[in-house]
Structure 1
Amino acid sequence: MTLSSIRKVYQGAADRHQMFRLFDRHSQRPHRLGAEANALYAGEWFEITEREHDYMFEILPPLWIRGSMFAMREFLTGSVTSVFFALRIDGVIRHFHGYCDLSDGRSVEDMRLAIIERETRPVRAMTRNERLEHIWSATADAYRDYSDKTTPQYLPGQRVIALYSGAGSAGLKLLDDLTGEEIAIKLPVQLRNLPDAAIAA
């Protein structure tokens, strides 16, 4: 599984428990030490609370501080590390975490601009990809995994989610193959009826 581009992976502001889960959304992936780890994480971002932002600032001395941004000294994988943002959006200071590949000199600024663009849209909406990423982020490890030879339509390394039938039996389905109805069932009630966004974040 290889992801790319800058993408929002959770709708709403994550509390501390959720933030730490989101830091390693791909912990169950096969071949954890493989070379594709940079592409899996680089570009992922989500909103956090001010409290969590300040907590992370105080854990270790940052690698660097640039205005309202700071980077963690410890790298997640390769040249990818956590960058924390305090951004004024529509007159309100909001806080975000993003994984930036520091081997790319533009990655931090590109992330900052992408977050601002996404969060200043006039209509609260979600793309299909954002819905799928939120489902993956919010699902407990026991109900999500990576496909293996026992998975229908086996594709190595693809994400799968447990679905329950009306009879109460569970089966696995590729995350990317969820239907609109299945996506709605998996989303929390407050996110089910949001309009579709035409542009991916």
Structure 2
Amino acid sequence: MREKSGSRVRFGTMALLLGALIGASPAAAQDMTTSLVEIHQGSPLSDRARSLGNGGYELQNGTFVSFNQWYRARWVDMHVDLLTQITEDTGILWGFGTGEEGEKYRIEPSLKLGFVTQMHPNPNSTLSLSLTTTVGGKLTEKSCQADYGDFGTYSVNCRLAASQLAPEETLKYLVNAKPESQHIWLNYRVTF
């Protein structure tokens, strides 16, 4: 039995869209314009990483260890979205995310590619459809080495090192999350 690969479908879609863009005639390529659609910093995964910094624990000697220092970054994941217009009603959506990294987590850089088209059912209305897919941008949490004295040193989930769980059990709770990778928008607008 063969397993279907979501990443193959995404790469196939991206290759098809890129082929359409590159395969445009030289005359059409001269008329293409690229516009900035949006720039923003932060994402749901950035917020999730920051929320991992809530709390802390107390060491055996009474020193409090805050998680906050491990889950903040000097640079927050920035996303740039662009639109390259192919015809009056069709364009390629594309962009990227820079990623971010803190001491105990990492968000990978990402690449976005998509397609947008619109039609006008009547002079006062517009029906538009856009599809985008994102590759990369995964959030992964890093482990720590914890010294349990006479019991030894173990690789553990930093946030759960002082919990009732066995050290090796804490690794199951490391965050490993993907961003929303595919979006479809259908919009109908009527002006009066």
TM range (shorter): under 0.3
Of structures 1 and 2, the one scoring higher in RCO (CA 8 A, sep 6+) is 1
TM-score for the superposition, normalised by structure 2:
0.23
TM-score for the superposition, normalised by structure 1:
0.23
- Pick the structure with more strand per residue: 2
Greater CA radius of gyration, 1 or 2? Answer: 2
